[in-house]
A and B are shown apart, each in its own frame.
Chain A
Amino acid sequence: SQQGEEDPQALSIQEGENATMNCSYKTSINNLQWYRQNSGRGLVHLILIRSNEREKHSGRLRVTLDTSKKSSSLLITASRAADTASYFCATESLYSGGGADGLTFGKGTHLIIQP
């Protein structure tokens, strides 16, 4: 079942601009993770935010989490052509029991950085 839904489905911006993408989910979570996928490749883990955290930074990435609205956002600052990729949010359900099955992925936002 699809837990997370990213918005927008596609985003095209100029190099140097900031890119913001959003993720909404339905059930209570333990944590939320963001991944990047370059065309034809596997996913790469970017950042994990726990349910008791509101904001987290990693380099040019900033993730926020609002559990009351069941939503998260990923901000990429000073975008580069190499940031062109699909970005997925993935949630670990509070009801997974911490098991390996608990991660559910959204459909992704396709980000294009125009040089």
Chain B
Amino acid sequence: DGGITQSPKYLFRKEGQNVTLSCEQNLNHDAMYWYRQDPGQGLRLIYYSQIVNDFQKGDIAEGYSVSREKKESFPLTVTSAQKNPTAFYLCASSNFRGTYQPQHFGDGTRLSIL
């Protein structure tokens, strides 16, 4: 079955540590996204990528970095510069053909501070 796989499901970060969240999709989608969700809140866009080797900052990119070396993969690194990283992180993908393309989501990674 096609879909998006995020790993790990739970992740703990120590002070001063960088951690990387994995996102893989086999839907052959062009665009991929990373969102952050805080309790009782909506989704805020961290980074997005429309094509391999290209990505753009979203609304809250500070303290995060991404890469898009393969169409299927869009890993997110939460750096030590992100002072409040505890949140639920969601990866999504969609076809990029202008408008009208719904996004498909993974099941998220919950990141906590040790």
Contacts and interface: CB of A to CB of B under 8 A. Distances in A.
B18 interface: no
B2 interface: no
B45 A101 contact: yes
Contacts of A102: 99
A69 interface: no
B64 interface: no
Given A40-B108, A101-B45, A105-B43, A45 B103 contact: yes
A43 B105 contact: yes
Interface in A87-108: 88, 92, 96, 98-108
A27 to B, nearest CB: 15
Contact of B108 (A41, A100, A101): A41
Interface in A1-36: 1-2, 4, 30-31, 33
Contacts, number: 63
A106 B37 CA distance: 11
Query: Residue among A104, A105, A106, A108 with the most chain B CB within 10 A?
Result: A105
Contact of B102 (A40, A45, A104): A45
Contact of B50 (A40, A92, A100): A100
A85 interface: no
Contacts of A2: 42
Interface in A62-115: 88, 92, 96, 98-108
Given A43-B90, A45-B104, 16 more contacts: A1-B59, A2-B42, A30-B100, A31-B100, A42-B6, A42-B90, A42-B107, A43-B43, A44-B105, A48-B100, A50-B100, A88-B42, A88-B43, A100-B31, A101-B56, A102-B99
